[in-house]
Amino acid sequence: MTFQPPYRIGNGFDVHRLVAGRKLILGGIEIPFERGLEGHSDADALLHAVCDAILGALAAGDIGQHFPNTDPRWKDCDSAVFVQESVRLARQAGYRVSNLDVTIHAERPKLRFHIDTMRKRVSELVDAPESCIGIKAGTMEKMGFVGREEGIAVSASVLLQVASGG
Ligand code: MG
């Protein structure tokens, strides 16, 4: 029988460049802004960080391994698919998401009024109550690539727990 700890912790981090001519998709929702994140998929850095946190907790590699950006299947793909697949892998291993804590680093746009919509969407995707989904956003005080508004970075921590009764 394989070792199954009662809890597994994971962390994920992702960065995407802000460019003209793309929609800004973050936390599974569209946010009105003059630029969007560049990437092979919809470039949702928040959902990518969440994916990596879940995969990391499972010691199951990373998002690039599971969903290579060379695969035409994932071109402009809704990153919800990646999260749902990661959650499926967790379930298969006998775990569910206990709670999730996310920090967005973005100079602009102001995200405060979108946080609750993101929490609701992420809660649906990881199948955990909204009260267990923390999302915070802060600037980098105009320093570095975030401060120059060249990109958005997101870090995520997740706790998985053994799913009782399957
Ligand atoms: Mg990414």
Residue 166 has pLDDT above 60, yes or no: no
Q: Are 75 and 40 in contact (CB under 8 A)?
A: yes
Ligand 1 mean position to 161 CA, how many Å?
25
| Helical segments of the chain, H only | 45-57, 63-66, 80-92, 115-126, 144-147
pLDDT one-digit tens code per residue, 74-115: 888 999 999 999 999 999 999 999 999 999 999 999 999 999
Residue 1 has pLDDT above 80, yes or no: no
Indicate if the alpha-carbon torsion angle 64, 67, 72, 77 is positive or negative: negative
pLDDT one-digit tens code per residue, 18-55: 999 999 999 999 999 999 999 999 999 999 999 999 99
87: part of which helix (H) or strand (E)? helix 80-92
Q: What is the per-residue pLDDT for 69?
A: 86
The whole model's pTM is what? 0.96
Locate 77 and state its tokens: 């793909």
What single letter denotes the amino acid at residue 45?
A
Ligand 1 mean position to 146 CA, how many Å?
15
Residue found under tokens 């109550």: 129
